[in-house]
Structure 1
Amino acid sequence: MSAPVQLGALTLGTPVMLAPMAGVTNPPFRQLCREAGESGLKAAGYTWQECPGTFAPAGLWVCEMVTTRALVERNVETMNMIKPDPGDPVRSIQLYGVEPKTTAEAVRILVAENRADHIDLNFGCPAPKVTRKGGGSALPWKTDLFEDLTQAAVRASEEASRDRDFVVPVTAKVRIGVDDGHTTFLDAARIAEDSGIVGLTLHARTTAQHYSGHAHWDRIGELTAATSLPVLGNGDVFEVEDAKAIMEQTGCRGVAVGRGCQGRPWLFHDLAAFYHGSEHRASPRLSEVAAIIVRHAELSIDHFNGDEHRALRELRKHMAWYLRGFSVGGSARNALALVSTLDELRERLAELGDQPYPEAAEGPRGRAGSPKQPHLPDGWLDSRELSEAQRAKIALAEVNVSGG
């Protein structure tokens, strides 16, 4: 049985995090993942009790990335995004920002208004629209800005938590660096720890790699050896065997899973069962997957306030992921990708019949793409500190659209 992971006042009973993914990890999908994780606990015969602070028995289910400016401006879509999975004991939100004051205010809102029990800071996003403004995985290169921002976030949480029973913990997600010649993860870990950050997730790729190639798990081992903070390893965790291997090879305390769970929330059943000593695996039949898809649709309709058309439109991206490996013809797949009502979805799924879970459904999934030249502000790599011109522009780098 794996030991719990302590992140400040937060205890992870199962050392697993659902990594935030734009347009994917909304409340309906997070609920499916959480319920799958809890079913894995039950399969392992694991029972849990309340702990001081907050306790996440089956894992941590993190909201898709929310931008600090959009939150501070109370953007309607952003406020809908931070709605919690109602059954989640730990409301976890990931923030993206580049300006310390705005980040601090966003943290204050989440904590003082009792909207979150855990906050993760995003320094791992490699998207050009983010890095070209100095944000995401580009930001830790500027050590002074990284320090100012992490300190501001932690201080804001501590101050806003005075009326709560515990200090809302702040963690951070980072990448190895901009590219192989400009690594940042070790400096970021040192600064984060000094700032009061209580845990780190390392996606073991550079910005230049994007999601291509293989994750460099050896760098997770370097980070684990260099910091006293709990480290979660991220990158190429697609199966229980990957989670086991990454922890054995690197000494990290747990894993963060992104692309590996796309269309496969039951992966968290398998991980929870494994971490608590059971070999039970979900392996759902096609009819069971169809039932999960319908439940996903029903939860989405509720999340989007009864807007069935929007809910089904949002579900379409998940359809190919759910059906991966099953013998489902192209015409059936195309029809499912165009459904617009719950009744139509049920009808199309009923036409598929039933099949056992296929071996082809296992393994890597999600788009890997190819390496990309990092998009950065002019002169960004000339120094590890902000120039006066860069500091003057940094507030302009804030974006008011959430979701990555």
Structure 2
Amino acid sequence: MLKNVESLKNGRIPRRVKFKLRDLDVFPNTILSPMDGVTDAPFRRLCRVLSGDRMGLLVSEFVPTDGDAAFRVEGHKQLKFFPEERPFGVQIFGRYPDRMAAAAKKIAEELHPDYIEVNAGCPAPKVAGKGSGSGLLRDLPRLQEILHDVRAALDASATEGHVNLPLTLKCRIGWDSDSINVMETLKIAEGEGVEMLTVHGRTRLQGYNGLADWDWIGKVAAAAKIPVIGNGDVNSVEVARERIENYSVSGVSIGRGAMHNPWIFGQIADAWEGKPARVMTATEALDVFPLYYRFKMEDGVTELGALGRLKQLAARLCKGFSESAMDIRQTLLRSGTAGEFFDNLESLREGVARDLVFEPERLVNLNGAKETELKFGDQFAGR
């Protein structure tokens, strides 16, 4: 796998190209970051096909547990996944340890994913403001109780004849710059049987603004006895290589970079296998839409719903074309039906797109707005 290093256009192969999650050999050492409303089954399947079935790990959109007195698998569309997505994990979030544990046990026994992940990273006010997601970083004893109870539930499931699944954790480095506590989070995680920690290098207050602090991620990786996956601002093969080499992480988790370049996992796998970088034409990039549309329809969405996601993807991908190609974006976004979208797509493929290349490295800043305040008050209700 590590032959032909000289042929690599963009640099050498990093020392770490895979990692182990218990008995799973994960290659390449990448994860598609779960993003609510983005990384549903159709998008995950799309990325896997475009990668040549070399995705590392896939994770569900996060699944809420607080709202159910008795957790029901059939009540959560985020839990749907296809066999070809494996190895596949389910990420859950909530603030009640008993409900998190019950949900984890039910999911493990009914759906048989490859691992269960606890979310301590989501910054959304409706999540963090109620004490779950990254809100747990304000209450580490509660996070510890959740991890303890979820691990115990998975162990109990194993005694009943089910597979004993690995437990993983996703977190941020802290709530804000004055309360960075990721090293304490690591200690708790390892003590409660967590087998992989993914660290997003921003605080909750940052949201998605500014640059991720990879120095903190590196400190965690250096101290950890378990695989540590770094998350934040990875949007190219070159960045993935640099983060893995310089910060000693076991791998990288990619979110918004994949939204704009769903080929990135295959590009990384190619590089780790010693294959030269490939230039992709704009027409090749546009070929992704029929496949994505098919996956959306197989997922049971309406034509209108599928059209909305086609436009969402078009708006992102077209940022990888030169400025002179803005006509492509505008033409696709003006489509009123799926049929019109594909008619416009064919015209573009035969016209303006023929002489363009897809250059996702043009995307430098994918950051969002910074929030400066968040009400944090009612998360302890009903403890």
For Structure 1 versus Structure 2, the TM-score category normalised by the shorter chain is: 0.7 to 0.9
SS of aligned partner of 1:183? coil
Q: Deviations over 1:303-346 (max 9, x none)?
A: 125x2222222332221112223256556533422445432221
Check conservation: 2:120, 2:169, Cα contact below 8 A. yes
Query: Which digits, 9 at most, give the CA deviation of each residue in 1:25-68, with x for residues without a partner?
Result: 011110111122336x5xxxxxxxxxxxxxxxx31111111112
Shift in alpha-carbon separation, 1:360–1:19, aligned structure 2, 3 A: closer
Distance 1:296 1:360, change over 3 A: closer
2:312 aligns with 317
1:121 aligns with 2:114: no
Call closer, same or farther: CA 1:146–1:341 in 2, change over 3 Å: same
Please tell me whether residue 262 in structure 1 is matched to residue 276 in structure 2: no
Distance 1:149 1:336, change over 3 A: same
Partner Cα separation in structure 2 for residue 21 and residue 83 of structure 1: 15
Answer with 230-239 or 130-139: which moved more. Answer: 130-139
Give, in whole Å, the separation in 2 of the partners of 1:363 and 1:330: 15
Q: Deviations over 1:168-227 (max 9, x none)?
A: 111011111011111121111100111011010111111121111111111011101222
Paired residue for 1:157? Answer: 154
Q: Which of residues 300, 303, 311 in structure 2 aligns to 1:308?
A: 303
105-114 or 165-174, which deviates more: 165-174
Q: Deviations over 1:281-309 (max 9, x none)?
A: 3x43222122111110111011125x222
- Distance across 2 between alignment mates of 1:270 and 1:134: 38
| Structure 2 unmatched ranges of 5 or more | 3-15
Q: SS of the residue aligned with 2:25?
A: strand
**What percent identity do the matched residue pairs reach?**
31
Alpha-carbon contact 2:335-2:341 (below 8 Å) kept: yes
Query: For the residues of structure 2 that align with 1:173 and 1:213, how far apart are their CA atoms?
Result: 20
Distance 2:190 2:295 in 1: 38
Aligned residue in 1 for 2:24: 10
* Alpha-carbon distance between aligned partners in 2 of 1:115 and 1:390, rounded to the nearest angstrom: 31
- How far apart are the structure 2 equivalents of 1:331 and 1:275? 36
Partner of 2:345: 349
Q: Report the residue type matching 1:216 in the other structure.
A: D
Is this contact kept in 2: 1:246–1:252, CA < 8 A?
Answer: yes
Structure 1 residues 394 and 357 mapped into 2: Cα distance closer, same or farther (>3 Å)? farther
Question: Which residue of structure 2 lines up, in the alignment, with residue 364 of structure 1?
Answer: 364
Query: 1:230-255 CA deviation, whole Å, 9 max, x = no partner?
Result: 10010010111111111121111100
Structure 2 counterpart of 1:101, one-letter code: D
Separation (CA, whole Å) in 2 of partners of 1:140 and 1:211: 17
Change (3 A) 1:311 1:100: same
Contact 2:109 2:162 in 1 (8 A): no
- SS in structure 2 of the partner of residue 101 of structure 1: helix
- How many pairs align? 363
Deviations 1:54-107 (Å, cap 9, x if unpaired)?
A: xxxx3111111111235754386x532211133122232111111101101110
Q: Is the 8 A contact 1:308 1:340 kept in 2?
A: no
For residues 183 and 113 of structure 1, the distance between their equivalents in structure 2, rounded to whole angstroms, comes to 37
* Greater mean alpha carbon deviation, residues 331-340 or residues 145-154: 331-340
Specify the code of the residue in structure 1 equivalent to 2:72: R
Q: 3-state DSSP class of the match of 1:262?
A: helix
TM-score where L is the length of structure 2:
0.87
Distance 1:260 1:140 in 2: 26
Preserved CA contact (<8 Å) 1:29 1:296: yes
TM-score, structure 1 as length reference: 0.83
**Aligned to 1:248, what secondary structure does the other structure show?**
helix
Partner in structure 2 of residue 299 of structure 1: 295
The 3-state SS of whatever aligns with 1:205 is strand
Q: Say if 2:21 is the partner of 1:23.
A: no
Structure 2 vs 1, CA of residues 162 and 289 (structure 1 numbering), >3 Å: closer, same or farther?
A: farther
Aligned equivalents of 1:91, 1:38: Cα separation in 2: 16
> Which range moved further: 110-119 or 167-176?
110-119
The residue type equivalent to 2:242 in the other structure is A
- State how 1:365-404 maps to structure 2 within 5 Å: 366=366, 368-378=367-377, 391=380, 393-395=381-383
Q: Which residue does 1:382 correspond to in 2?
A: none
Structure 2 CA distance for partners of 1:201 and 1:376, relative to 1, 3 Å:
farther
Task: Answer yes or no: is 1:102 the counterpart of 2:116.
Answer: no
Amino acid at match of 1:87: E
Give the Cα–Cα distance (whole angstroms) in 2 for the partners of residues 131 and 89 of structure 1.
29
Q: 1:348 to 1:119 in 2, by over 3 A?
A: same
1:394–1:204 distance in 2 versus 1, CA, 3 Å: farther
Secondary structure at the residue paired with 2:66? helix
Q: How does 1:9-88 map to 2 (within 5 A)?
A: 9-38=23-52, 58-69=55-66, 72-74=70-72, 79-88=76-85
RMSD: 2.3
C-alpha separation between the residues in 2 aligned to 1:132 and 1:149? 17
Question: Using the alignment, how far apart are the partners of 1:183 and 1:394 within structure 2?
Answer: 27
Paired residue for 1:334, among 322, 330, 334?
A: 330
CA distance in 2, matches of 1:152, 1:339: 50
The residue identity in structure 2 corresponding to 1:74 is R
**Pick aligned residue for 1:223 from 217, 220, 227:** 220
Measure the CA separation in 2 of the matches of 1:36 and 1:5. Answer: 22
| Corresponding residue for residue 9 of structure 2 | none
Query: What's the secondary structure of 2:76's corresponding residue?
Result: helix
Structure 1: give runs of 5+ residues left out of the alignment.
42-57, 379-388, 396-404
How far apart, CA to CA, are the structure 1 residues paired with 2:260 and 2:241? 21
